[in-house]
């Protein structure tokens, strides 16, 4: 990545994709401002792994968007494969998805315009899950049969974070219990991994009765969303004193995940999974590196390896 940047670095911005080879994997990347990416990478290198933290989205960022032409389910999608749902429940969730996903990714609406719709989606979906009487006892099995897939290279990604002592905050508007179960399913047990998300609350019989507050949705995923909670925002998200952040996401809302954290340098990697033509320009403006229809974690891994070469560690 560094070599490519040094070779192709120009002062004028470019939205043209470049191909970067990582071992056997070729990735198409857009780095509109290559000089800025190069400078950020050089700073990450000089800070080394001790200065770095990863803040990442989960659904369709750590997990794949699609595999063999099949859409990989999000954590909400996995909940919706709960075996005891009725045909009406399925229809209800499908209709919600069709209506609100189009709004979530609509390039012609602002975040402010989308916000009330997103709150409505999450609330209606969570209420229906409570009504359906989701049982804690089937969580593991529901995840096991869901067909969820992580991006290629996930094993190495989590191994390297653990080896280098780099904390990883998984910040998700999905469902935290499902994400934790997915981590268990793939035997990912890093001590420095924290999941901040919507967690399920159960009654004494292990039946879902609600979700944790504050609700986290696509457009309030940031440290400051916790400011009004009883515990301080920093306690809730387990803020670290790391100065450098590698931020990974697949929606524009993800860019704000690090807002309010202590870092002074944030390198952003965006996965553009869907509707590439419509959305590339916006992504290229906002993310340092945009990965186009990429199923791997090669780029984040390259960034981590770059940081691993530097610093005092």
Give the residue, chosen from 80, 177, 288, 294, that forms a contact with ligand MG7 under the rule CB under 6 A.
80
Give the residue from 220, 271, 280, 265 showing the smallest Cα distance to 249.
Answer: 271
Give the residue, chosen from 32, 64, 76, 279, that forms a contact with ligand MG7 under the rule CB under 6 A.
76
Is residue 101 close enough to count as binding ligand MG7 by CB under 6 A?
yes
Site string for ligand MG7, 236-275 (x = CB under 6 A): ---------------x------------------------
Determine what percent of the chain falls in helix, strand and coil, rounding each to the nearest 5: 45, 20, 35
Helix (H, G, I), strand (E, B) or coil at 34: helix
Considering the complex, what minimum distance in angstroms separates the CB of residue 94 from ligand MG7? Answer: 9
What distance in Å separates the CA atoms of residue 66 and residue 73, rounded to the nearest whole number?
8
Do 166 and 130 form a contact (C-beta atoms < 8 A)? no
Site string for ligand MG7, 107-136 (x = CB under 6 A): --------------xx--x-----------
Is residue 92 close enough to count as binding ligand MG7 by CB under 6 A?
no
What distance in Å separates the CA atoms of residue 290 and residue 304, rounded to the nearest whole number?
17
Sole residue written with tokens 């080394």: 48
Question: Which residues are designated catalytic?
Answer: 57, 59
What distance in Å separates the CA atoms of residue 234 and residue 194, rounded to the nearest whole number?
13
Site string for ligand MG7, 171-190 (x = CB under 6 A): -xxx----------------
Enumerate binding residues for ligand MG7 (CB under 6 A): 59, 74-77, 80, 93, 96-97, 101, 104, 121-122, 125, 172-174, 218, 251
């Amino acid at each position: 990545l560094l070599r490519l940047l040094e070779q192709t670095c120009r002062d004028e911005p470019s939205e043209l994709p470049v191909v970067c080879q990582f071992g056997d994997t070729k990735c198409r990347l857009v780095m509109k401002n290559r000089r800025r990416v190069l400078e950020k990478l050089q700073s990450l290198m000089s800070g080394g792994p001790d200065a770095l933290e990863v803040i990442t989205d989960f659904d369709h960022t750590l997990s794949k968007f699609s595999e063999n032409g099949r859409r990989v389910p999000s954590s909400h999608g996995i909940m919706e494969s709960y075996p005891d749902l009725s045909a009406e429940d399925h229809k209800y969730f499908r209709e919600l998805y069709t209506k609100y996903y189009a709004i979530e990714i609509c390039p012609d609406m602002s975040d402010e315009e989308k916000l009330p719709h997103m709150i409505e989606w999450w609330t209606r979906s969570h209420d229906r899950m409570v009504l359906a009487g989701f049982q804690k006892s089937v969580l593991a099995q529901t995840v096991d049969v869901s067909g969820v897939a992580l991006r290629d290279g996930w094993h190495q990604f989590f191994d390297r974070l653990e080896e280098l002592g780099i904390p990883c905050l998984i910040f998700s508007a999905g469902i935290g219990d499902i994400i934790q179960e997915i981590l268990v399913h793939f035997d990912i047990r890093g001590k420095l991994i924290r999941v901040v998300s919507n967690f399920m609350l159960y009654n004494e019989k292990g039946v879902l009765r609600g979700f944790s507050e504050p609700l986290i949705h696509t457009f309030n995923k940031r440290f400051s969303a916790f400011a009004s909670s009883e515990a301080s925002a920093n306690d809730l998200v387990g803020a670290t004193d790391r100065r450098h952040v590698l931020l990974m996401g697949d929606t524009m809302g993800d860019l704000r995940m690090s807002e309010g954290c202590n870092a002074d340098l944030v390198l952003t990697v965006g996965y553009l999974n869907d509707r590439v033509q419509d959305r590339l320009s916006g992504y290229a403006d906002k993310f340092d590196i945009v990965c186009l229809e990429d199923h791997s974690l090669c780029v984040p891994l390259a960034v981590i390896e770059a940081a691993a070469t530097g610093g005092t560690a």
